[in-house]
């Protein structure tokens, strides 16, 4: 798990400055040794304001959200666009703001872009919740914008919005949600969206085979419950199953493979304690709840995750890569089927900011977003001799 060396080399590339589209040359790339590959870590662009989510367009550009409410195109040459118009208003507060972005599986035909964000109460109340809207990307504008999901209830908090978006092979849209921190007990009841994973169709309608359709007192869009703050989601490339990763409290970050209708235990069971050292639950196992597929003690403060399928890193194909905020690293989990055989910490010495998002690019390289006022868009490429 140790990185044995890293070195800096001067490269010419484009990076953002305060002016969109401006270029900066003679930036640095870092080369690092991992267990299976030598990698080059290059800052493609910087100056992003707390970037949170990214999705690659067919053109090769990345759509990147900034938590303050801007959506931008960023080229692999580092050129950053002006803010895309038509983005919904967000509640930019603490952990809230403009969060994830995804493109429709049929984007080439319909141009739909999906955004998750913290939304104020449309009725004028003090509360907020996670919402998801979609719009058609035309040039540098979002058109025909419509809200397809609103978390309920609106709750006055700046914490635990969850907010990853993932499309299943069948075309369902999964939305991951947080427990809103001080409303953690809501994760165990089905009349609200706190601490849930939701499954809808892309237009916001509810699949008839969702597990709680027709159950009195249950919201029919709920897929699974008993989650804390799910900020990572990925679809397994072979099985098509949804995998998620969620923040534990102080200890107990979890990977789960959410099954329809199942309860994942929070806050009845946890491997962590509260931030002040107090006990949330003295149980790690509770009958009727599902144990995490994998967990971390101590926490690494998980962000997003991907299954790596590209050709850039042959020895990582099929591995699960999980971003971490706390240690500014990526955890590489070597999988045999669903079983985690080994964990390696990647990029600790060369990425100096918290890692908020991780994606595989169209070129097979790995791309990272860092969680900072001067956030970076970083490319990880193969430097094997």
Examine the residue annotation and report whether 227 is marked as an active-site residue of this protein.
Answer: no
H/E element, 107: helix 107-110
Among 309, 87, 106, smallest CA distance to 203 is for: 106
Q: What is the dihedral of CA 242, 372, 44, 60, to 10 degrees?
A: 40
Phi, psi (rounded to 5 degrees) for 138: -125, 110
CA 203 and chain centroid, separation: 21
Token duo for residue 76: 């692999």
Contact predicate 321/331, CB 8 Å: yes
- Cα distances from 218 to residues 155, 211, 266, 359, in angstroms, run 19, 10, 18, 34
Catalytic residue among 3, 37, 160, 193: 160
Residue with tokens 């998620």: 244
Can you point out the beta strands (E) in 168-283? 173-176, 196-200, 222-225, 229-235, 242-247, 253-256
* Active site members: 160
């Amino acid at each position: 798990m140790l990185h044995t060396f890293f070195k800096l080399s001067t490269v010419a590339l484009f990076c953002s400055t305060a002016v969109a589209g401006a270029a900066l040359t003679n930036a640095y790339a870092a080369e690092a040794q991992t267990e299976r590959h030598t990698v080059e870590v290059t800052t493609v662009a910087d100056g992003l304001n707390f970037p949170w989510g990214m999705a690659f367009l067919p053109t090769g550009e990345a759509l990147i959200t900034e938590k303050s409410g801007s959506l931008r195109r960023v080229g692999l040459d580092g050129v950053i666009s002006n803010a895309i118009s038509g983005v919904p208003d967000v509640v930019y507060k603490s952990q809230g703001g403009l969060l994830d972005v995804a493109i429709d599986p049929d984007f080439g035909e319909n141009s739909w872009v999906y955004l998750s964000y913290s939304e104020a109460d449309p009725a004028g109340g003090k509360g907020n919740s996670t919402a998801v809207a979609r719009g058609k990307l035309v040039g540098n504008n979002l058109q025909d914008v419509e809200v397809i999901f609103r978390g309920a209830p609106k709750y006055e908090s700046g914490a635990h919005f969850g907010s990853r978006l993932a499309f299943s092979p069948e075309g369902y849209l999964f939305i991951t949600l947080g427990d809103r921190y001080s409303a953690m007990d809501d994760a165990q009841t089905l009349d609200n969206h706190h601490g849930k994973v939701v499954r809808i169709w892309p237009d916001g309608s509810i699949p008839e085979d969702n597990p709680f359709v027709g159950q009195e007192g249950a919201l029919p869009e709920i897929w699974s419950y008993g989650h804390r703050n799910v900020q990572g989601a990925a679809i397994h490339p072979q099985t098509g199953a949804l995998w998620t990763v969620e923040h534990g409290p102080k200890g107990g970050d979890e990977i789960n493979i959410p099954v329809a209708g199942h309860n994942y235990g929070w806050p009845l069971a946890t491997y962590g304690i509260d931030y002040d050292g107090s006990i949330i639950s003295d149980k790690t196992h509770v009958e009727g709840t599902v144990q995490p597929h994998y967990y971390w003690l101590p926490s690494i403060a998980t962000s997003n995750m991907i299954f790596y399928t590209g050709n850039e890193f042959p020895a990582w194909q099929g591995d699960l890569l999980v971003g971490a905020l706390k240690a500014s690293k990526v955890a590489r989990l070597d999988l045999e089927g669903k079983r985690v055989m080994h964990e390696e910490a990647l990029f600790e010495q060369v990425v100096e900011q918290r890692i908020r998002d991780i994606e595989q690019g169209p070129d097979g390289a790995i791309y990272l977003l860092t969680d900072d006022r001067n956030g970076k868009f970083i490319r990880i490429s193969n430097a094997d001799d």
